[in-house]
Structure 1
Amino acid sequence: MLYKEEKCPEFTDLNIGNALSGTELQVQLLLYTRENPDCSERLIEHNVTSSEYLNSSKKTVFVIHGFRPTGSPPAWLGDIKELLLSSDDMNLIIVDWNRGATTVNYITAVENCRKVAEILKNYVDQMLVDGASLDTMYLIGVSLGAHIAGFVGKKYHGKIGRITGLDPAGPSFTREPPEGRLDRTDAQFVDVIHSDTDALGFKQPLGTIDFYPNGGMDQPGCPQTVFSGFQYFKCDHQRSVFLFLSSLKRVCNIITYPCDSYLDFKRGKCVDCEAFQPMSCPVLGYYADRWKKLLIPKSSSTKAYFDTSDREPFCMYNYVLDITTWNKSIRRGFIKVKITDSTGTTVESEMNGEASTFQQYKRVKILTGFYRDLDEISKISMTFSTKTLIGPKHKLRILQMRLKSLNNPERLQLCRYDFVLMENTELTFKPIPCPESGTRGERFY
């Protein structure tokens, strides 16, 4: 008579001592479903179909971690398990290769990636024999795990349904050709979040769509100096995971904007998304694949940029401030915006990091973001600054101003005409709804 394991199989928990001595590669697959959400079932490598809970007709999601220099289980593991199972009725498989990823020698972990992919193929092959479909398989890989997912995808010639790469590892992979790393051809849809492109992550596009939060480098809320300890090294890299988790919580949609560069995005050049109707702009994270029907073939990729706040749920509420000025001389400077609703609640925009150039009768678009949104704006406050400490104070003469919500484009756009901003002096006014096309507010458009 066979007995079930009395204790729930758990993710391998190691320590710094194991990392120093090194670990031999071992891979275990821990299955969770809505029938066993709290106690995993360990899949048997050469007899996957004996599983009590695996249902081959359902979507199967693999979560693959990366390099583990301290040996501890990933901090996000419990959250991703709970949130994925609450989002969909699925087979959720945690790929535990902690023995093999726990080492102080990063190169050893890199070399183990292809071995892990080969082991995963053995499991997937058995699932396919049992009636599973590659179309409904989804691999989520973190750091090195993203490249493991790519190697698995290559073994099935890109027929796997989807791969999500969460800040794919850069070191040892940056100069690799497509066959040596994650690539957009490894699945039917490959979405990638790049959050640490200047250190541990991969800078260049790797997917069908590549998301670059805050430009892909320094993430708000992360330590800026090495004196913050280990968190300084891992915070930006891990942010990709926490952004993905936020998308599963569905507190708000993190809307992103296809664009050639972060600079163009910040200059307001890529915020209309009209070319992507009716789906509008892509959202980040788990539900990003709803946009895939609009994407062109695998030979091409889309880069999407967006800004976030410094803490969960990370959403920014973006507006475009569209200004036409009538100064005879050129002005360069910054505009800070505050919005107030009828209850007196006021929120202030984050200052754009680059000065805008204002020329006579030329429109300037400024992307401005708020940590909170207000449903009905009753007052707008604006402050113009050149950030110079010496010299005369300048004026910015504004012919017309238009404020448009990007998160809620169906809202009325708000306008104001013929006013002057004195440098470093806040001006507060009540906006009016922008007129329809063909009237005064449209003659400069």
Structure 2
Amino acid sequence: MLCWMSWCLVLAVMLASLELCPAETCEEITDLDLKHSIAGPALRVRLLLFTRANSTCGYLLSHDDPFSNPEFNVSRPTTFIIHGYRPTGSPPIWTHKVVEATLGQRDVNVVVVDWNRGATNINYLKVVENTPLVATNLTAFIQKMQIEGASLSSIHMIGVSLGAHISGFTGSSFNGSIGRITALDPAGPSFTDKPADQRLDPSDAQFVDALHTDMDAFGFRKPLGHVDFYANGGADQPGCPKSIFSGSAYFKCDHQRSVFLYVDSFIESCGMTAYPCANYSAYLDGKCLSCDQFGSVGCPVFGPHLVRWKDILVKLGQTSTYFATNQISPYCQTNYKVEIVTWNSQPRWGFISIKLHSASEEVLAQTLHTSTKFEQYVETTLLARFDRRVRSVEKITLKYSTANVCTGRYKLRLLRIRLTPLDRSTRPLCRYDLVLMENTEVTFRPIYCEDSNF
């Protein structure tokens, strides 16, 4: 009987302790619906903290006393993630992916800025009016961080769409002392042609980088960072619907792609190297594959590792760069510079398709941009884009084609073809004295180029 009473006492103490120490509640971005979108709820900003100790469970920070949460350590760098316009009130589907990628790379405080009450409204202009108010809220919060010893240079703000301009307004409040702002397809409507103090611009942080994926609709077209990346030209993204009959994806796929490209950029083997160029067409034509101005570090790679190029890019001023991607994740491509010298006595026009073979796989390059002119003894440069990397190239297949339908088949006589991988430091591959019959594949084993400096 006494033993039974003792167990009851232990059980009572355990139950009491559970009441005194309830389980921590995991907070999510506010989930609203169409009735909120019509009514347009008043602005409310919530800050959700994620760290490596609570990477999947957001803690709600108090604006008045954010440091009451022991997980919020200002001695660590802090990354703010700020979403954009939410016309239907639903939370972004990508938030946890960005949080996970960020914490996987560095031990930081990740603060997700939930301003869904304020971003949800069928009237876009009302939401735009809220953006400087969100920035004022964040400014006050960061000032509290400063008092506790946080360094402004250790703050990174990642803003999506309208969130990019909120980041800019916040950074402007600190006279550009914030360490870095990453703008993922910054919003265009209501900000295009606005002066710099009414949108994101390079003076808002020590380093501002921007990615453009929907500049012909919801995104911003012109450069507004120290470096601007134009993925696939900055407009229509591969794999996104081309017809309005595809539903909501037709409207948001290009715009949303910026976030998924950013998430993929954390993959070590998936570098998205970008090339300074006048426009996307010139990039595809292989006219902008030099990275000499960046010295030994090479051309900038979009994503978290871009800080390696910070000093160079800030010194260069506003730099527009271009890269191409696959239709689905992993989005990164493997790029080769292809240099061809022909010895036909008459100029030839046409396309070159290229396959790389290893012992177990083959990949086909995307080079069919425009018809290329090949002239005797004149080196022609092409960009060959492969959807994945072949680690050990054992064979190469070439095919020459033209648009001719009324004439006989042409031959393209190659004095030399050289393939140089642009994404890694390996020796260029060559073949000399080769004849390509139109629409006929020729497969050969490449050799290392005779004039290689490797």
**Alpha-carbon distance, 1:328 to partner:** 2.5
What SS does the aligned partner of 2:208 have? strand
Displacement after TM superposition at 1:187 (Å): 0.5
1:252 aligns with 2:270: yes
Aligned counterparts, 1:221-370, within 5 A: 221-297=239-315, 300-341=317-358, 343-370=359-386
Alpha-carbon offset, residue 295 of structure 1: 2.2
Match of 1:423 in 2: 438
Aligned counterpart in structure 2 of residue 58 of structure 1, from 76, 92, 103: 76
Equivalents in 1 of 2:430, 2:53: separation in Å?
55
CA distance in 2, matches of 1:430, 1:383: 15
Letter in 1 for 2:208: V
The aligned counterpart of 1:178 is 196
1:347-403 per-residue CA deviation (whole Å, 9 max, x = no partner) reads 111133222111222111010111122122221111111133333322222221111
CA contact (8 A) 1:66 1:142 kept: yes
Which residue of the other structure, out of 196, 200, 203, is the alignment partner of 2:218? 200
Percent identical residues = 47
Partner amino acid for 1:348?
A: L
Secondary structure of 2:158's counterpart equals strand
Contact 1:49 1:126 (C-alpha < 8 Å) held by counterparts: no
Q: Residues 134-170 of structure 1: CA distance to partner in whole angstroms, max 9, x if unpaired? A: 0100100000000000000111111100000000001
1:149-164 matches, within 5 Å, as: 149-164=167-182
1:388 aligns with 2:404: yes
Shift of 1:418: 2.0
Corresponding residue for residue 417 of structure 2: 401
Structure 1 residues 38-84: Cα deviation after superposition (integer angstroms, max 9, x where no partner):
33222222223333221111101100000001111100011112221
Q: Residues 76-108 of structure 1: CA distance to partner in whole angstroms, max 9, x if unpaired?
A: 011112221221111110000000101111111
- The alignment's TM-score, normalised by the length of structure 1, stands at 0.94
For residues 433 and 282 of structure 1, the distance between their equivalents in structure 2, rounded to whole angstroms, comes to 27
> 1:251 offset after TM fit, Å?
4.0
SS in 2 for 1:243: helix
Comparing 269-278 with 178-187, greater Cα deviation is found at 269-278
**1:149 to 1:5, Cα distance in 2 relative to 1, 3 A:** farther
Using a 3 Å threshold, how does the CA distance of structure 1 residues 22 and 2 change in structure 2: closer, same or farther? farther
**Change in 2 beyond 3 A, CA 1:155/1:3:** farther
Q: Distance in 1 between matches of 2:315 and 2:432?
A: 45
Structure having the larger proportion of residues in helix: 2
SS in 2 for 1:324: strand
Q: Which residue number corresponds to residue 7 of structure 2? A: none
Are the aligned partners of 1:266 and 1:352 in contact in 2 as well (CA < 8 Å)? no
Distance in 1 between the 2:21 and 2:158 partners? 32
- How many corresponding residue pairs? 435
Give the counterpart letter for 1:295 in structure 2.
Answer: L
- The whole-number CA distance in structure 2 between the counterparts of 1:427 and 1:344 is 19
- DSSP-derived class of the 1:315 partner: coil
Say whether the 8 Å CA contact 2:25–2:59 is kept in structure 1: no
Distance of aligned partners of 1:38 and 1:339 in 2 relative to their CA distance in 1, 3 Å threshold: closer
The answer as to whether partners of 1:67 and 1:109 remain within 8 angstroms in 2 is: yes
Would the aligned equivalents of 1:352 and 1:367 in 2 still touch at CA under 8 Å?
no
Q: Partners of 1:61 and 1:368 in 2: how far apart?
A: 36
Over 3 Å counting, the alpha-carbon distance change for 1:96 and 1:212 in structure 2 is same
- Deviation of 1:3 (Å): 7.4
Greater than 3 Å deviation, 4+ residue runs:
1-6
The aligned amino acid for 2:354 is V
Q: For the Cα contact (< 8 Å) 1:266–1:367, is it kept in 2?
A: yes
Match of 1:401, as an amino acid? Answer: I
C-alpha distance in structure 1 between counterparts of 2:24 and 2:446, whole Å: 67
RMSD of aligned alpha carbons: 1.8
Structure 1, unaligned runs of 5 or more: 439-445
Give the whole-Å Cα distance in 1 for the aligned partners of 2:22 and 2:167.
Answer: 30
Q: Provide closer, same or farther for how the CA distance between residues 269 and 177 of structure 1 changes in structure 2, counting only shifts above 3 A.
A: same
**Post-superposition shift, 1:312?**
0.9
**CA shift in 2, pair 1:183/1:357, >3 Å:** same
TM-score, structure 2 as length reference: 0.92
Summarize the Cα distance change of 1:39–1:381 in structure 2 as closer, same or farther, 3 Å threshold: closer
Q: For 1:4 and 1:353, how far apart are their aligned partners in 2?
A: 61
1:333 to partner: Cα distance: 1.4
Task: Look up the match of 2:232.
Answer: 214
For 2:179 and 2:343, how far apart are their aligned partners in 1? 54
- For residues 115 and 20 of structure 2, what CA distance do their matches in structure 1 show? 27
Q: Which moved more, 1:270-279 or 1:107-116?
A: 270-279
